[in-house]
A and B are shown apart, each in its own frame.
Chain A
Amino acid sequence: MPDKIPVVARRSALKCLGFGAAGTLFALAGGVLTPTSLLAAAADPKGTARLGKPLFVQISDTHIGFNKEANPDVTATLSRSIDLVNGLPQQPELIIHTGDITHLSKPAEFDLAQQLFSQLRATEMHTVPGEHDTTDATVTEYFNRFGKASGNRGYYSFDHAGVHFVALVNVLEFKPGGLGTLGAAQLAWVADDLKGRSASTPIVVFAHMPLWTIYEPWGWGTGDAPQLMEQLRRFGSVTVLNGHIHQIVQKVEGNVTFHTARSTAYPQPEAGVGTGPGPLKVAADQLPGMLGVTSVAVVKHARSLALADASLA
């Protein structure tokens, strides 16, 4: 329970914001996020069990096809991520991929990614595209493989274990010089999707680009996300999961917890450091600590979720 998590663990977890060399476990209750060290949680399996059954694991920014110095073997690091997930003592029921499955939207990259994903023990996978998956004008390659859930529209929703999941696309309606965009049609669809749902329903929203502005000069945000947040405000527990920036950044605003995941492929610099959001080259022994996955569990007896980040170190 959140009030029993040691203060020292919170401190060490807060150090992990930005790039974390160790994983971070988050318990969310009533919109309040309480972090603790994943290492501490691993040392205390009973404490971890109290957080509930693992609901899903978030994988992000696998960038299959990338082969530059920052990580010449993204296939191997995705495989290690999959091993990490498959090795969890309790298997998550779902896998959520928050985009940039591929690096260059090439058919062979999508095919290899699908082949790797098929090794996951959890068989139900939900995806949203990143801008690297949609460089072909018609988004044909992504939709051919992952378009079924949304009728080739990209956004869709589903329910699982009492949680309502909303998958959104903010990489298709790009505006030169601007941030990601959801667009009027998608926002209207969200309003309709949420209409009539109880405010006590836990909501998980996921999209590739951050749904809050982390760093505008690099396009790390979504221009019309405030209109989405307006629709989510009445809900008691909202978890917003994104990728895109290849590092963990999070904030809590009212009942909404925002979380961006690490990439399984390569890290990126912190906001504003260097010329742009390109691959960050680090020493080989440091790389695993900067890649990873996020798992989410439903907290028993509470309408809340718990997040845990695991690095590949």
Chain B
Amino acid sequence: MPASPDVRCSQVSVAIGLTLLVAASSGAASAQTPGAAGATSPPAATRADAAPPIVIARDFMFGPGTITIKAGATVTWKNTDDEPHTVVSDTGLFRSGALDTNESFTFRFDKPGTYHYACSIHPRMVGTVVVE
């Protein structure tokens, strides 16, 4: 992978990072977003991948339960409950530590696919990341 911007969890920088990563990825032509190169804001089209890739853990649920992103994008999970949660991949690909209230975890998905995860403290809390 080429050197990528240091993607943090603020919504603005995640959106920019996603756009730049798509533009910088030579193999991602088939999933190209029109007019993405150099853009500083997401395209007007309200496609799922235009939304900031942020998942909120609230009231013992991950929301949205399924998030769709482009390959190379970073997803941020933030816990807003009083109770800690974790984000643990079914396959072991990614695993957060315990996220206390208002703590976040990020992971960048480089390969297309469907990724399931759960909270290891509350295993009924499950979610899916679809990477196109």
Contact = CB atoms under 8 A, between A and B. Distances in A.
Interface of A: 68-70, 103-105, 131-132, 134-137, 174-179, 217-219, 275-279
Interface residues of B, number: 22
A276 B59 contact: yes
Interface stretch (B2-10, B48-56, B67-75, B76-84): B76-84
Given A104-B97, A136-B97, A174-B120, A275 B59 contact: yes
Given A132-B98, A219-B124, A275-B59, A176 B118 contact: yes
Of the candidates B59, B98, B116, the one having the most CB atoms from chain A within 10 angstroms of its own CB is B98
Given A104-B84, A104-B100, A275-B59, A218 B123 contact: no
Interface string B103-131: 00000000000001110111110100000
Nearest to A268: B83
Given A105-B97, A131-B120, A135-B86, 10 more contacts: A68-B82, A68-B101, A103-B100, A132-B121, A137-B95, A176-B90, A177-B124, A178-B123, A277-B60, A277-B122
Of the candidates B59, B84, B118, B126, the one having the most CB atoms from chain A within 10 angstroms of its own CB is B84
Nearest to A67: B100
Contacts of B81: 276, 278
A276 to B, nearest CB: 3
- 3 closest pairs, A vs B, by CB? A276-B60, A176-B118, A275-B59
A32 B55 CA distance: 49
A135 B121 contact: yes
A103 B84 contact: yes
A278 B83 contact: yes
Contacts, number: 67
Contacts of A178: 123-124
Given A68-B82, A177-B118, A105 B124 contact: no
A200 to B, nearest CB: 38
B77 to A, nearest CB: 14
Nearest to B123: A174
A113 B95 CA distance: 25
Contacts of A137: 95
B99 to A, nearest CB: 9
13 contacts: A68-B82, A70-B82, A103-B100, A104-B98, A135-B98, A176-B116, A176-B124, A177-B123, A177-B126, A178-B123, A219-B123, A276-B122, A278-B60
A136 B86 CA distance: 10
Contacts of A135: 84, 86, 97-98, 120-121
B123 A175 contact: yes
Of the candidates A134, A136, A137, the one having the most CB atoms from chain B within 10 angstroms of its own CB is A137
